[in-house]
Amino acid sequence: MDDAGEVYMDIHPFATLSRVYFENILCLSALIPASHDMYGPKRTEVGVRVSLGDTDGPETTEIIIYGEASTFLYPPQPSSAAPSSEPSGSLPLTIRVARITPAPRPPRPDDPTPRKPPAHLYGGSAIRELGANKRIKPRSVSGKDKAKAKEWDEDDIVRRAREVMLHLPGSNVPVNARAKAKDKRMVSVADKAKQRSGGKGQPSLKDSVFKVPELPAKARRKQEDAGTDVFGIVEPPLTSTNGAGARGKGKAKDAALDGEDGESSTEAANKVVLKKSAVRHLANVGISRTHLEFKDIFGFVYRGAAFALRAQIKTSHLSTQTVEAIIEAHAKLYVLAPETQEPEMGTSGRRRGALHRTTSSFGIDTLE
């Protein structure tokens, strides 16, 4: 508790509840002398603890409000001057405020051992007698005197700490013995592994430490399709030349992409038909592969057609008429074919008989 600030608290005369509250707590408490001054003013045994702040964290300041009976501020008066409600000789209490300081941390086992500097150095000179330009000249001490001085200067705490460090569990075992025991354990483990492998130098696959996980079904199928050579797994070479092999490789790649995630061959074939039909219809209306919006429009048309035929795409092969009708209907939602007929021209140079329709890539029609 830090009361060095000499802080006092005053209660307003109109604050009746606060006055009654502190009177019931402080005036009924016993008075005890302060811990640092036995002959000074006496304080109440209890107080009121108050936290300054909204939080209850470590940075919150806490104060304590207590009463103090001081003869310096209120000298003793004769008993006739005291009120009838107070006994003779009683002193009024002064409300004081002190700050609660955190308690010192208790020592921990890993704290460094405190060491005391020697009171006298070699040569009989005290520490306060030495200056910055003075040097210590050690005196010659015999072996017996040196041992006695060392025993006298050592503190009990230092001696106990040295004994604990020297008598740690397992410290009495020599280093060579510990190394031999470790080598013996390693040899025994190797012998057990050799016995499990049937007497051979290398352990079996079941007893090996590192286990290779099994390949997934997709990778296993690819590994089975590929050939095996002396140098490992070899992929089958291309059978065609003159550019046909490149096209065959591209088709095989498309089929592999379509058939992944466990899709059946029927579903993969139907998806290829839908993609080809979507590309062909978009090319007919002027949306080729080089168009900037081809990727987005192709995705909308293909996914919409696949969703419309989701019931038949997994069970049976789709007919060409069904695919063409669905793809054409979805393509018209986003792109309209340009008109081929030109309206007649009038004398004023404007078209007559029909309105000119301009179609954007997303099917937004504007009339001119």
Q: Determine phi and psi for 77, rounding to 5 degrees.
A: -115, 160
Structure token digits, residue 265: 């061959």
Q: What is the mean pLDDT of residues 298-321?
A: 88
Which one-letter amino acid corresponds to residue 152? W
Query: Which pLDDT band, with edges at 50, 70 and 90, does 332 fall under?
Result: confident
Query: Which pLDDT band, with edges at 50, 70 and 90, does 241 fall under?
Result: very low
- Tell me: pLDDT of 10 over 80: yes
Structure-model confidence comparison of residues 23 and 121, the more confident one: 23
Structure token digits, residue 203: 């352990």
- Which of the residue ranges 30-39, 89-98, 212-221, 227-236 would you say has the lowest mean pLDDT? 227-236
| Nearest in space to 68 (alpha carbons), one of 39, 20, 28, 26 | 26
pLDDT for the residue numbered 110: 85
CA quadruple 292, 295, 298, 300: dihedral positive or negative?
A: negative
- Which of the residue ranges 18-22, 193-197, 227-231 would you say has the lowest mean pLDDT? 227-231
Cα 290 from Cα 265, distance rounded (Å): 30
| Nearest in space to 23 (alpha carbons), one of 71, 93, 109 | 93
Structure token digits, residue 48: 């009121």
276-301 pLDDT, tens digit per residue, is: 988 988 888 888 888 888 889 899 99
Name, of 28-42, 54-68, 123-137, 233-247, the range with top average pLDDT: 54-68
Cα 308 from Cα 237, distance rounded (Å): 40
pLDDT for the residue numbered 244: 47
- Tell me: pLDDT of 46 over 80: yes
Over the chain, what is the mean pLDDT?
A: 69
Cα 66 from Cα 25, distance rounded (Å): 9
| Contacts of 138 by beta carbon, 8 Å cutoff, 6+ apart | 122, 123
pLDDT for the residue numbered 16: 93
Cα 331 from Cα 277, distance rounded (Å): 11
- DSSP assignment string, 267-323: HHHHHHHHHHHHHHHHHHTT--TTSTTHHHHHHHHHHHHHHHTTTTTTTSPPPHHHH
User: pTM of the full predicted structure?
Assistant: 0.28
Residue 212, helix vs strand vs coil: coil
Domain ranges of the chain: 1-73+92-102, 265-335
89-132 pLDDT, tens digit per residue, is: 567 888 899 888 877 788 888 888 777 666 555 555 555 555 55
DSSP state of 366: E
Structure-model confidence comparison of residues 327 and 1, the more confident one: 327
Structure-model confidence comparison of residues 38 and 61, the more confident one: 61
Name, of 45-54, 64-73, 220-229, the range with top average pLDDT: 45-54
- Which of the residue ranges 59-73, 144-158, 229-243, 264-278 would you say has the lowest mean pLDDT? 229-243
Residue 336, helix vs strand vs coil: coil
